[in-house]
Amino acid sequence: MDSYQGDIPEDIQEGTLRLTETMCWIIQTTIRPGLTDTGGIPHSRAQFVALGLRQKINDALLRFTDETDLKIVDIAVDADECWLIDSQVSFDGRGGPGMELLTQCFRILWGLKYQLPIDLVAEPAPEPPTPEPPQKEEDNPFLNLTS
């Protein structure tokens, strides 16, 4: 796979993905470069791109593990990595982490093609709030009405 060059200028080849931990796990479980039989040396451009992206994602996952208050990790990606994500990550519905990830890639590719500022990348949707546990019957004043 040759690098997609289209109308992308030579000096602007990267954008930034703002990833939640969930987005990182989506990429980690869908991008599978496979083992090499050449002593660890990738034997295709596609495998080289996939291995590089997986290393960035694995590094981000280690940060999420070690830095417990971390919510977002920024990683630099090039057009090839965005196309790889686009080809492997599934749309999971409006507002889902897969859609947010794909939308960021689309914005990066669009920005690179039209030489737009990279800061047009949308902020990912926040993680959904953790639901509150249901109230016990004795704690609910509406259930303890006595006549």
Predicted confidence (pLDDT) per residue in 111-128, tens digit = 888 877 655 544 455 556
Q: Which domain holds residue 118?
A: 14-126
Residues of the chain with pLDDT under 70: 1-12, 35-43, 117-130, 133-147
What does the pLDDT read at residue 21?
A: 96
In the chain, alpha helices (H): 21-30, 45-66, 79-88, 97-113
Would you call 72 helix, strand, or coil by DSSP?
coil
Enumerate the β-bridge partners of residue 14. Answer: 78
CA gap 73, 81 in Å, rounded: 16
Within-domain flag for 110: yes
Number of domains composing the chain: 1
What does the pLDDT read at residue 1?
A: 40
What does the pLDDT read at residue 4?
A: 42
